[in-house]
């Protein structure tokens, strides 16, 4: 199998699986239990928390474990709205956020919130002046992702945080960093981000675990899941110790030779872009700078057919986000592409383990698909 869909999920390295297996079979105590095995696991969870916090550059107490990025996003939104419940009902986000942001915003609009959706330009980017123009006295939340999961565009989160400080806005800033963490610079503490969402399975960790960074401006964050009081009373439910162990181990592995891994992915991305654009009839989609995502269009060739054809050959890519399951992507729609270009958009996403030989196999398969199929009229 040739796997180029690492923005959807990533393979779990053996070292991560081993760390999880050890917890599942040998160190399975409940961290809330007061006998030695439980106390041992409580200490272990705090150690794993410190690993993730160190990668974020923040104190461990700023990190709460969750079940996934989607939970982290929903919790961040609810915490921000609760804190600012007496200050307004205006939310700013982008039209190209993950559905874990857009769907909650749709529900909030039904509850009386006014949501402003910032549209990207043709290159896929959102600008600080757009946020400044949308900002109001009753704005209570700004939610902007770090890296777009379909185009790889990096959004100016640091500069947006500075804008909110400059305007003395009460709005809290949330950043969905699921696609950006350990792939591009990510410093919530230094930037002044109030809430930041992470997910384990985008960087070699298991599915079923994520985290939420909660900054100092978030006062007494309202729990999304009240109950037994785990995670310092902020996120109840017995800690998923095996998943947390796997998340922390994946973070450690991804940070080893980090610069070389980023450079390798960026080189593969550039190599694939050059080969594909040289085919003719292939165009770049957006101007993403993240090293692990490449979006292109085989103009006039439906992406669902491309994904199916290559999948039958054991080559895994996607037509936009895996979460859309073949439906038209709101991200592609927001770019304002013509019909034939939009129809042919595919996403190729890289890991440090991908090779140039695999890239050659992928490019050859895309060339063969184009040469053997008729384009849409």
Active site residues: 323
Q: How many CA atoms lie within 13 A of 160 on its CB side?
A: 29
296 DSSP β-pair partners: 284, 346
Distances (CA, A) of 44 to 47, 67, 247, 252, 354: 5, 18, 13, 15, 32
User: Is-contact 319 155, C-beta < 8 A?
Assistant: no
Cα dihedral sign for 49, 180, 182, 355?
positive
Strand 139-143 to 172-176 pairing: parallel
The CA dihedral of 261, 6, 15, 176, to the nearest 10 degrees, is 90
Cβ–Cβ contacts within 10 Å for residue 140, how many?
23
3-state DSSP assignment of residue 342: helix
Dist CA 214 CA 76 (whole Å): 8
Cβ–Cβ contacts within 10 Å for residue 44, how many?
19
Nearest to 94 by CA among 167, 137, 157: 157
CB burial readout 215-224, b (16+ within 10 A) else e: bebbeebebb
Cβ–Cβ contacts within 10 Å for residue 61, how many?
12
Dist CA 119 CA 205 (whole Å): 32
Dist CA 295 CA 27 (whole Å): 43
Nearest to 179 by CA among 14, 5, 317: 5
């Amino acid at each position: 199998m040739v796997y180029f869909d690492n923005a959807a999920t990533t393979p779990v390295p053996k070292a991560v699986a081993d760390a999880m297996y050890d917890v599942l079979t040998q160190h399975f105590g409940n961290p809330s239990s007061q006998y030695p095995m439980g106390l041992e696991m409580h200490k272990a969870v705090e150690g794993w928390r410190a690993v993730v916090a160190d990668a974020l550059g923040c104190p461990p107490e700023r990190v709460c474990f969750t079940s996934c990025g989607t939970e982290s996003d929903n919790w961040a939104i609810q915490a921000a709205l609760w804190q600012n419940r007496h200050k307004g009902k205006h939310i700013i986000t982008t039209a190209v956020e993950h559905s874990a942001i857009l769907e909650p915003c749709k529900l909030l609009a039904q509850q009386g919130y006014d949501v402003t959706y910032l549209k990207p330009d043709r290159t896929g980017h959102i600008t600080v002046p757009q946020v400044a123009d949308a900002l109001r006295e009753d704005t209570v939340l700004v939610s902007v992702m770090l890296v777009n999961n379909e185009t790889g565009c990096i959004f100016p989160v640091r500069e947006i945080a500075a804008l909110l400080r400059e305007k003395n806005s009460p709005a809290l800033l949330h950043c969905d960093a699921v696609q950006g963490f350990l792939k591009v610079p990510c410093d919530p503490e230094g930037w002044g981000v109030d809430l930041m969402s992470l997910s384990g399975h985008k960087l070699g960790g298991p599915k079923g675990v994520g985290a939420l960074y909660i900054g100092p401006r978030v006062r007494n964050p309202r729990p999304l899941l009240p109950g037994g009081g785990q995670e310092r009373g902020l996120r109840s439910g017995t800690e998923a110790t095996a998943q947390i162990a796997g998340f922390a181990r994946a973070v450690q592995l991804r940070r080893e030779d980090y610069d070389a891994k980023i450079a390798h992915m960026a080189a593969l991305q550039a190599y694939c872009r050059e080969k594909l654009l040289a085919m003719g009839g292939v165009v770049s989609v957006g101007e993403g700078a993240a090293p692990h995502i490449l979006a292109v269009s085989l103009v006039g060739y439906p992406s669902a057919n491309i994904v199916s054809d290559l999948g039958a050959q054991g080559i895994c890519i996607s037509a936009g986000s895996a979460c859309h399951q073949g439906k038209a992507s709101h991200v592609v729609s927001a770019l304002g592409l013509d019909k034939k270009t939009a129809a042919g958009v595919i996403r190729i996403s890289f890991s440090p383990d991908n090779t140039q030989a695999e890239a050659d196999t992928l490019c050859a398969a895309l060339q063969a698909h184009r040469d053997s199929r008729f384009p849409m009229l």
